[in-house]
């Protein structure tokens, strides 16, 4: 597997290849969810660039950045089966932030105002800054992002359209652990008993989906909060149901609508997110 530390070296190699390029941007600590993105990208492109870069500007809490799991050796092992089709891009700060590690300011309107945008001020400016830099450095035909970060996905779609980057943004399905917990690099930070107990997040969402046509939004939220906060060390950061297109949380559920449920839960100091589609008949 070829590993590149700079965009200059990467671009030079890409020019020689003349292949369709897919990009899978990651922050490392790879898991089966990332592998599914890489798998799909390998099917749909001649060459796949997997970037690994823990982007400081998208962390609004220093402790979260410092604790974010990093293990390049393990990541490389996990990517080994795809090594013939992959370029690994592991840039240093200077490569992506030549003028200092600060984010640009974007206006994504309602897309960035609620859920993660509200709970993590500046987060999406950081994400958009780095995704813009990665897309410009790699010029892919397609870029792959997971449904788990649905709000991020919609913002990246808006970024791509607004900047006329011409990349096909591909949404890949959320992958879950056996117990239903949404796969996340942050799951590694949980001790085994909490990782098991965190299955309550998806189990509660499943109940809510079963009651999609009978419960009010208020009943859904009360149920979720009581299930989660009934466990020691668990706390709900937000529970929101929003339209998938503008991501504005609604107050009431209407018939014949497709919504998206967004949740963020603290398990001790680790913050986990999940999302499911909810259809009201």
Selected from 7, 21, 23, 26, the binder of ligand PAF by CB under 6 A is: 26
234 — phi, psi (to 5°)? -100, 135
**Is 174 an interacting residue with respect to ligand PAF (CB under 6 A)?**
no
CB of 80 to ligand PAF, least distance (A): 21
- When asked if residue 172 is in the footprint of ligand PAF (CB under 6 A), the reply is no
If the CB atoms of residues 96 and 181 are measured against ligand PAF, the closer one turns out to be 96
168: helix, coil or strand? strand
* 158 is a site residue for ligand PAF (CB under 6 A): no
Task: Tell me how far, at minimum, the Cβ of 220 lies from ligand PAF, in Å.
Answer: 27
Shortest reach from residue 145's CB to ligand PAF, in Å: 6
Q: Which stretch binds ligand PAF (CB under 6 A): 23-31, 81-89, 106-114, 223-231?
A: 23-31
Q: Which residues are catalytic?
A: 34
DSSP state of 137: H
Which residue among 27, 236, 263, 265 contacts ligand PAF (CB under 6 A)? Answer: 27
Place of tokens 């402790």: 63
Interacting residues of 44 by C-beta distance below 8 A, sequence separation 6+: 22, 142, 170
**In the sheet where 257-267 sits, what is the strand order?**
234-242, 257-267, 270-280
Nearer to ligand PAF, 103 or 152 (CB): 152
* Rg (alpha carbons) of the chain, rounded to whole number: 19
Which of 37, 112, 127, 183 binds ligand PAF (CB under 6 A)? It is 127
Nearest partner of 119 among 216, 262, 250, 225, judged by Cα? 262
Complex with ligand PAF: residue 25 or 91, whichever CB lies closer = 25
The C-alpha atoms of residue 50 and residue 26 are separated, in whole angstroms, by 7
Helix orientation angle between 150-162 and 123-138, rounded to the nearest 10 degrees: 50
Does position 128 bind ligand PAF by CB under 6 A? no
Residue in 10, 49, 50, 130 binding ligand PAF, rule: CB under 6 A: 130
Contact between 183 and ligand PAF per CB under 6 A? no
Q: What angle do CA 148, 52, 129 make, to 5 degrees?
A: 70
User: Quick one: which segment of 25-33, 173-181, 203-211, 232-240 binds ligand PAF (CB under 6 A)?
Assistant: 25-33
* Residue among 185, 225, 191, 193 at smallest CA distance from 208: 225
Residues near ligand PAF, by CB under 6 A: 25-27, 55, 58, 127, 130-131, 149, 152
């Amino acid at each position: 597997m070829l590993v590149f530390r700079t965009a200059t070296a990467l671009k030079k190699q890409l020019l020689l290849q003349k292949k369709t390029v897919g990009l899978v941007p990651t922050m490392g600590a790879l898991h089966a969810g990332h592998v599914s993105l890489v798998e799909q990208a390998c099917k749909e492109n001649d060459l796949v660039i997997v970037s690994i870069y823990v982007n400081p500007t998208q962390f609004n809490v220093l402790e979260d950045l410092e604790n974010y799991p990093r293990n390049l050796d393990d990541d490389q092992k996990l990517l080994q089966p795809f090594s013939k089709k992959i370029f690994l891009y592991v840039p240093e700060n200077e490569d992506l932030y030549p003028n200092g590690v600060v984010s640009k300011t974007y206006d994504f309107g309602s897309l960035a105002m609620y859920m993660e945008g509200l709970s993590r001020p500046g987060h999406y400016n950081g994400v958009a800054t780095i995704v813009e830099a990665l897309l410009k450095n790699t010029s892919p035909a397609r870029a792959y992002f997971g449904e788990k970060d649905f709000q991020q996905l919609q913002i990246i779609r808006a970024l791509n359209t607004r900047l006329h980057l011409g990349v096909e943004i591909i949404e890949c399905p959320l992958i879950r652990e056996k117990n239903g917990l949404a796969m996340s690099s942050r799951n590694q930070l949980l001790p085994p008993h909490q990782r098991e107990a965190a299955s309550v997040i998806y189990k509660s969402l499943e109940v809510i989906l079963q009651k999609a046509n009978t419960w009010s939004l208020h009943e859904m939220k009360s149920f979720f909060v009581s299930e989660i906060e009934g466990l020691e060390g668990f706390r709900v950061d937000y529970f929101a149901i929003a339209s998938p297109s503008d991501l504005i949380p609604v107050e009431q559920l209407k018939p014949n609508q497709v919504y998206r449920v967004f949740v963020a839960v603290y398990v001790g100091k680790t913050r986990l997110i999940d999302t499911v589609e909810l259809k009201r008949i």
